[in-house]
């Protein structure tokens, strides 16, 4: 079945990454290649400014290296801006396509589905729930490629400066890669409950408002309030648990990111004192180690965006995965060729 004819409930989240966005994605990759280069160049300029310009007291070298540094910073900022703009365009275009496809599918569902489904649930799915997976689609290519290439470039540069120091400073990241997915898995389970309860919560509000005359007629104020209070409390607990696991992921990530510079200060300072590492190389090493936090942090945040988007998208598609009672158009039937004529008989 062609992608355009396949119901949205049968499509995966990844199918939206290149759907109508292929040119944008390739253009993004080109900009990312330039952005990675502009993030590594300032590190080398720092080393040369300290080891050559300042040590040799050459003003011309200082001005030259500072000019290269400033140019790289300006170009890096411009690339970052373009990447953010293109990610937004892709995300919003994908969100519009998702909404159109889901709405088209929903209005074709049998009437029995709507008898058992609150209008608020449908509205919440189209308006709110699809926004989360569309954010993932917007950054599905740029964020992992950009940050993985940046991490690789920084790692290669660190090993080029000093293999021993690079190996020790990067040793904390494997432990983080084991612990963080474990915490994220717990956050995903809480997020699934949050999505389900949010949908039930919206449906309860819509049901109460649309049937408020029955509540007044039967004096069921206290009963409805009790039901609503129970849902609010359940949603509060789930959101707290979900937030705690998300904060645990960020805190763990911050700890391991801060551990790297500590190791550089201990070992790098010792090697510099013993004359086995140039001062400029230590400065560049510390800057690179500090900059490693940015792509690593963005990858962790992207992983959270992916998990949240996947859970929300899958839950939404599962809810609306209902077959129509009958085909909307007969399969294989050619379009009618109506003749502009009228026949009257027996009047």
Mean pLDDT of 132-141: 88
Range 291-313 average pLDDT: 81
Q: What is the pLDDT of residues 41-85, one digit of tens each?
A: 888 888 888 878 877 778 888 888 889 989 988 998 899 899 889
Tell me the average pLDDT of the chain: 81
* Residues 217-239, mean pLDDT to the nearest whole number: 82
pLDDT at 4 over 60: no
- Which strand (E) or helix (H) includes residue 69? helix 59-106
Task: Answer yes or no: is pLDDT of 333 > 70.
Answer: no
% residues pLDDT > 90 (the chain) = 4
Q: Which of 51-60, 89-98, 210-219 has the highest mean pLDDT?
A: 89-98
Q: Kindly report, residue by residue over 148-171, the tens digit of the pLDDT.
A: 888 888 888 888 877 877 777 777
Q: Residue 344: what are its φ and ψ, rounded to 5°?
A: -120, 130
Residues 104-116 pLDDT 10s: 888 888 888 888 7
**Helix, strand, coil shares, percent, the chain, to 5:** 80, 0, 20
Q: How far apart are CA 106 and CA 198, in angstroms?
A: 19
Q: What are the b/e assignments for 60-92, b being 16+ CB within 10 Å?
A: ebbebbeebbeebeebbeebeebbeebbeebbe
Q: Which domains does the chain have, with CATH numbers?
A: 11-319 (1.20.1560.10)
**Is residue 2 over pLDDT 50?**
no
């Amino acid at each position: 079945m062609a992608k355009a004819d396949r119901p949205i409930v049968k499509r995966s989240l990844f199918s939206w990454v290149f759907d109508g966005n292929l040119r944008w994605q390739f253009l993004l990759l080109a900009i990312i290649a330039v952005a990675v280069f502009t993030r590594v160049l300032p590190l080398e300029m720092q080393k040369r400014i300290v080891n050559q310009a300042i040590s040799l007291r050459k003003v011309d070298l200082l001005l030259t290296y500072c000019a290269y540094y400033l140019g790289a910073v300006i170009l890096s900022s411009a690339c970052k801006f373009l990447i953010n703009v293109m990610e937004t365009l892709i995300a919003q275009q994908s969100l519009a396509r998702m909404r159109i496809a889901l709405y088209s599918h929903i209005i074709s569902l049998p009437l029995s589905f709507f008898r058992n489904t609150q209008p608020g649930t449908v509205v919440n799915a189209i308006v709110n729930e699809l926004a989360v997976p569309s954010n993932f689609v917007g950054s599905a290519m740029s964020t992992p490629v950009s940050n993985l290439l940046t991490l690789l470039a920084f790692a290669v540069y660190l090993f080029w400066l000093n293999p021993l120091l690079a190996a020790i400073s990067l040793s904390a990241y494997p432990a983080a890669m084991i612990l963080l997915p474990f915490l994220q898995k717990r956050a995903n389970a809480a997020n699934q409950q949050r999505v389900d309860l949010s949908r039930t919560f919206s449906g309860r509000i819509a049901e109460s408002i649309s049937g408020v005359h029955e509540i007044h007629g039967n004096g069921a104020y206290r009963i409805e309030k009790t039901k609503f209070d129970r849902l609010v409390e359940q949603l509060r607990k789930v959101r707290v648990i979900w937030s705690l696991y998300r904060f645990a992921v960020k805190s763990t990530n911050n700890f391991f990111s801060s551990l790297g510079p500590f190791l550089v200060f201990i070992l790098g300072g010792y090697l510099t004192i013993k004359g086995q590492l140039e001062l400029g190389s230590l400065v560049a090493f510390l800057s690179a180690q500090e900059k490693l936090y940015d792509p690593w942090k963005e990858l962790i945040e992207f992983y959270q965006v992916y998990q949240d988007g996947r859970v929300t998208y899958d839950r939404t598609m599962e809810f609306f995965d209902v077959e129509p009672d009958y085909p909307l158009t007969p399969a294989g039937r050619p379009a009618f060729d109506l003749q502009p004529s009228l026949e009257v008989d027996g009047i």
